[in-house]
Amino acid sequence: MRTLRSVGELRAALAPHRRAGATIGLVPTMGALHEGHLSLIRRARERCDVVVVSLFVNPSQFNERSDLERYPRSEERDAALTAQAGVDVLFAPSVEEVYPPGFATSVEVLDVTTARLEGEARGAAHFRGVCTVVTKLLCMTQPDVAYFGQKDAQQVVVIRRLVTDLNLPVRIETCPTVREPDGLAMSSRNALLDPDERERALALPAALRAAAELSGAGERSAEVLLQTAGDGLARFGVEPEYLAIVDPDTFAALHRLDRPALLVLAARVGDVRLIDNALLEPAAVETVSTEAQGGCRERHGRSGDQTPDHPGAPGFGIAVTGSSRSTHRQPQGEPITCSA
Ligand code: AMP
């Protein structure tokens, strides 16, 4: 594996592969890698000839300076993990390489997908920062496929929008959320939780599970489901920053679940901001405590993302009471794929 720091080096390294017709996969990350990132990397490794992992803590998407300053960084460990996973190129540019003096362009998706929830909670600059850096990484790498996690569901919807709107020649593939054995969604920020906070963080998967079970049992009122999820959080003394039931493709609010819907939430546990989500649909309860069976799977037969797939499968794979030491993933969680 080569660690590259400049766009010039990256382009030079990829050019011969591109000329030879190799498929290039990109996994954008902010580092402090965990099993969630590694599931994306493994998927890329399975499907692509050349795998590039970018490691860049993007200052422009942080709305709080303190969050940026204490964001976990572990490049040496990340390099070891990516090398072990068979990555070809670790692209780890400096802030100056990505935003050189005079940099003055930004990319912004202007619709409901960026205005609500994460967009509202973190401010317009957050998704502007995400869209700008993802567009730049796609332009720098020019991958055939880029891999993202369902954990950041709203981010994926926004990125699909920008890829479609800008006619970027890349396929976006989404992989299921990877969870700790107790159900907590893996996140680089989990490392910042103290033991008491780590325990209280279980409020998030517990709230999602309670609502998924109820919707699985036939409840169709978003209000009732949100109340249940809210009660689930309250039992752990956790206040939601937002808690909403939305259309998985557009993030527009839903009042009745006459189709699959996404329950999304953000909450602070101590000073650590966590997000999570779960698909709500009638079959959810059947899979809620099923052991994980695997990671990303490709869904065939769709092209264009005017109507991207909803996040795949019944259930969200939270096995809060599971005793297995292994990592839990979304059972049957299929990646969302589209071409642009
Ligand atoms: P980050 O480093 O947090 O910006 O994440 C890089 C990529 O990994 C994003 O596409 C995330 O959605 C994805 N990701 C983060 N956590 C998980 C997880 N627990 N399961 C699956 N994907 C994840």
Report d(CA 118, CA 267) in Å as an integer.
Answer: 11
22, two tokens: 């190799």
Number of domains in the chain: 2
Q: Does residue 339 lie within any of the structural domains?
A: no
* Boundary residue ending a domain (145, 175, 205): 175
**Pair (183, 63) in one structural domain:** no
Residue 101 sits in a domain of what CATH number? Answer: 3.40.50.620
**Pair (202, 171) in one structural domain:** no
Backbone phi, psi, residue 175, to 5°: -110, 150
Q: Does residue 29 lie within any of the structural domains?
A: yes
Sign of the torsion angle spanned by Cα atoms 239, 191, 245, 65: positive
Asked if residue 85 has its Cβ within 6 Å of ligand 1, the reply is: no
Q: What is the 330 CA–ligand 1 centroid distance (Å)? A: 14
Asked if residue 122 has its Cβ within 6 Å of ligand 1, the reply is: no
Q: Does residue 338 lie within any of the structural domains?
A: no
**Pair (57, 82) in one structural domain:** yes
Candidates 34, 37, 126, 328; catalytic one = 37
**Pair (9, 57) in one structural domain:** yes
pTM: 0.87
Q: Does residue 270 lie within any of the structural domains?
A: yes
Ligand 1 probe mutation, 26, 29, 51, 173, most atoms within 8 A of CB: 29
**Pair (27, 123) in one structural domain:** yes
pLDDT (tens digit, 9 = 90+) per residue, 169-189?
A: 999 999 999 999 999 999 999
Placement of tokens 């020649």 in the chain = 169
Q: Active-site residue 34, yes or no?
A: no
Q: Does residue 290 lie within any of the structural domains?
A: yes
Torsion region of 256: left, alpha or beta (phi above 0 gives left; psi -120 to 50 gives alpha): beta
Query: Are residues 338 and 171 in contact, defined by beta-carbon separation less than 8 angstroms?
Result: yes
Asked if residue 188 has its Cβ within 6 Å of ligand 1, the reply is: yes
The segments of the chain whose pLDDT lies below 70 read: 282-340
Measured CA distances, 25 to 52, 142, 159, 172, 294 (Å): 6, 9, 16, 10, 20
pLDDT (tens digit, 9 = 90+) per residue, 35-86?
A: 999 999 999 999 999 999 999 999 999 989 999 999 999 999 999 999 999 9
Show the domain range for 31: 2-175
Ligand 1 probe mutation, 40, 133, 172, most atoms within 8 A of CB: 40
* Boundary residue ending a domain (175, 207, 237): 175
* Boundary residue ending a domain (156, 175, 194): 175
Report d(CA 140, CA 4) in Å as an integer.
Answer: 12
CA angle (34, 35, 37) in 5-degree steps: 70
Torsion region of 309: left, alpha or beta (phi above 0 gives left; psi -120 to 50 gives alpha): beta
Residue 289 sits in a domain of what CATH number? Answer: 3.30.1300.10
**Pair (193, 220) in one structural domain:** yes
**Pair (6, 152) in one structural domain:** yes
Q: Does residue 84 lie within any of the structural domains?
A: yes
The ligand 1 atom nearest the CA atom of 178: 20
